[in-house]
């Protein structure tokens, strides 16, 4: 048995039988983070901690393709669904709904097998879904729901929560920052792929023709990135000492929440509050993500309508990183309430924004929406523990998935009505604002132990 050199530390404090803080050295023991039972684990090397984060970010960039559906919406609606915007946008909502289902399944499989195997498998399913989607015709439009929607979403789910959970285990002392980095890469993927997809669609024949050949190119990218990135994804060793900040050490007893299994989680009222709050929170963002380009087009910005997709993706990415870091300072609950307030106000401004001002509103909606996606994973880990985080977050994401389906139907329905006058889409964003208000009330009832400030 190896022992730490205690001359490195000023103070060694026992919080309970399972957790110890070593002041000055700033090490924290907790089953879900670090195990000091043998007090002889290996020290984490910086390189070993960074590689999984870099790999996770590359994989999340691929998942970010989900957020550029607006680039495909108009062409797919015309070529496959006979101009039915609601039916076409159902493909996008199915991706997000199955993403939550895939996160639950992927989380359980990661525990039983390994994070690496689950991520690579998810990449294969995702790529296969896009490949199949490239051959769908108007005679069987439902196949797009199965391929791009169900298979794409399931594959994304396998990789989404497992990469986040793995990253949090490598940096337990900075859950908000690391989660923000990982999921901001997802938003950044939308920024990077927007101009690429625009060029591919144009080169493959333009609107209504070039979308499906583009799916094939993306499928190849998915299989390559997820396979190579997956090889670098693994959970940290159980016996490890991880440095944490002085502030985190002071609140170690608070951070050390117990680990709840998925069966225990679904019996807790906090779970249902978080699920419904997440469902309310995502409405405005998902409506805008699905229709950013058509809305900008209808506002008279024909030549630069795709900029709306670029802006919502960029601000989505920045929001994930910014609000992830902010929540480490002010707490997840408080951050989410601020985000709900901002999202609700921004949704109400959509109808009033004319010309290029619509891009400003789109940016704010994306910025606030991104914050939800970096804070709910961290909130899940803090409320229910990190050990089963991948599966538990998948359960919490059920609210996100249901919200995706509802927002898709609402936005698609009003977009059909507003085919000649975009102002007729106003009720959809009023509904989104009301949902945000309900979300604020729900979050105010959630009891969370005091977090890092």
What is the residue-wise DSSP string for 294-341? HHHHHTT-GGGTTHHHHHHHHHHHHHHHHHHHHHHHH-HHHHHHHHHH
pLDDT at 420: 65
Name the residue among 152, 157, 148 with its Cα closest to residue 76.
148
Sheet holding 11-14, edge to edge: 11-14, 20-23, 27-28
Q: In this structure, are 14 and 95 located in the same domain? A: no
> How many folded domains does the chain comprise?
2
User: Could you report the per-residue pLDDT of 254-268, keeping only the tens digit for each?
Assistant: 444 578 888 999 999
Q: In this structure, are 223 and 289 located in the same domain? A: yes
Q: In this structure, are 56 and 151 located in the same domain? A: yes
Q: What distance in Å separates the CA atoms of residue 117 and residue 227, rounded to the nearest whole number?
A: 9
pLDDT at 445: 94
Q: In this structure, are 409 and 337 located in the same domain? A: yes
331: left (phi over 0), alpha (psi -120 to 50) or beta: left
Instruction: Over range 25-32, report the average pLDDT.
Output: 38
What CATH number is attached to the domain comprising 85? Answer: 1.20.1250.20
At residue 407, φ and ψ (nearest 5 deg) are: -65, -35
Q: Is the pLDDT of residue 306 over 90?
A: no
pLDDT at 396: 93
Name the packing angle between helices 307-330 and 357-384 (round to 10°).
40
pLDDT at 200: 94
Cα–Cα distance list, 330 to 267, 318, 324, 338, 443 (Å): 28, 18, 10, 11, 15
Instruction: Over range 262-277, report the average pLDDT.
Output: 94
Instruction: Over range 401-410, report the average pLDDT.
Output: 85
Q: Is the pLDDT of residue 453 over 50?
A: no
Full-prediction pTM beyond 0.85?
Answer: no
Q: What distance in Å separates the CA atoms of residue 25 and residue 176, rounded to the nearest whole number?
A: 22
Residue 376 · residue 164 · CB < 8 Å: no
Q: What distance in Å separates the CA atoms of residue 346 and residue 325, rounded to the nearest whole number?
A: 22
Query: What band does 367 get if pLDDT is binned at 50, 70 and 90?
Result: very high
Q: In this structure, are 424 and 358 located in the same domain? A: yes
- Cα-Cα-Cα-Cα torsion 307, 313, 316, 322, nearest 10 degrees, comes to -90
Cα Rg for the chain, rounded, in angstroms?
Answer: 22
The mean of the pLDDT values for the chain is 79
At residue 240, φ and ψ (nearest 5 deg) are: -140, 145
**Residue 145 domain flag:** yes
**Domain carrying residue 321:** 49-237+259-445
Instruction: Over range 31-39, report the average pLDDT.
Output: 34
Q: In this structure, are 86 and 29 located in the same domain? A: no
Q: In this structure, are 88 and 14 located in the same domain? A: no
Query: What band does 304 get if pLDDT is binned at 50, 70 and 90?
Result: low
Lowest-confidence segment of 286-295, 362-371, 389-398 by average pLDDT = 286-295
% the chain with pLDDT above 70: 81
Q: What distance in Å separates the CA atoms of residue 109 and residue 117, rounded to the nearest whole number?
A: 9
pLDDT at 213: 94
pLDDT at 7: 34
pLDDT at 254: 42
pLDDT at 244: 46
């Amino acid at each position: 048995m190896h022992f730490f050199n205690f001359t490195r530390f000023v103070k060694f404090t026992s919080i309970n039988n399972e957790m110890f803080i070593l002041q000055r050295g700033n090490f924290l023991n907790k089953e879900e983070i670090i195990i000091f039972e043998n007090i002889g684990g290996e020290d984490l090397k910086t390189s070993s901690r960074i590689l999984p984060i870099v790999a996770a970010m590359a994989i999340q960039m691929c998942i970010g393709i989900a957020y550029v559906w607006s680039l495909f919406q108009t062409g797919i609606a015309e070529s496959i669904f006979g101009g039915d915007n609601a039916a076409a946008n159902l493909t996008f909502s199915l991706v997000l709904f199955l993403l939550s289902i895939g996160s639950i399944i992927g989380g359980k499989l990661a525990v039983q097998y390994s994070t690496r195997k689950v991520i690579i498998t998810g990449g294969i399913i995702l790529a296969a879904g896009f490949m199949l989607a490239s051959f769908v015709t108007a005679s069987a439009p439902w196949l797009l729901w199965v391929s791009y929607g169900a298979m794409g979403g399931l594959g994304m789910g396998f990789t989404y929560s497992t990469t986040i959970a793995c990253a949090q285990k490598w940096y337990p002392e900075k859950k908000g920052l690391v989660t923000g980095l990982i999921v901001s890469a997802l938003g950044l993927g939308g920024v990077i792929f927007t101009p690429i997809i625009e060029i591919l669609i144009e080169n493959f024949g333009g609107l209504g023709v070039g979308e499906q050949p583009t799916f094939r190119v993306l499928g190849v990218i998915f299989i390559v990135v997820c396979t190579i990135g997956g090889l670098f994804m693994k959970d940290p060793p159980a016996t490890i000492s991880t440095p944490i900040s002085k502030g985190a050490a002071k609140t170690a007893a608070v951070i050390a929440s117990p680990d709840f299994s998925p069966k225990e989680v679904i019996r807790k009222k906090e779970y249902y509050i978080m699920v419904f709050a997440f469902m309310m929170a995502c409405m405005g963002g998902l409506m805008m993500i699905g229709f950013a380009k058509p809305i900008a087009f209808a506002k008279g910005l024909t030549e630069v309508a795709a900029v709306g997709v670029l802006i919502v993706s960029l601000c989505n990415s920045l929001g994930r990183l910014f609000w992830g870091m902010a929540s480490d300072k002010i707490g997840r609950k408080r951050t989410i309430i601020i985000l709900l307030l901002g999202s609700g106000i921004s949704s109400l401004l959509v109808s009033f924004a004319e010309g290029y001002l619509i891009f400003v509103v789109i940016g704010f909606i994306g910025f606030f929406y991104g914050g939800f996606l970096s804070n709910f994973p961290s909130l899940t880990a803090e409320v229910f523990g990190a050990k089963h985080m991948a599966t538990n977050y998948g359960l919490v994401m059920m609210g996100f998935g249901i919200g995706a389906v509802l927002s898709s139907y609402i936005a698609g329905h009003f977009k059909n009505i507003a085919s000649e006058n975009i102002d007729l889409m106003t009720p959809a964003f009023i509904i989104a604002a009301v949902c945000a208000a309900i979300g604020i009330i729900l979050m105010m009832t959630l009891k969370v132990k005091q977090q890092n400030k």
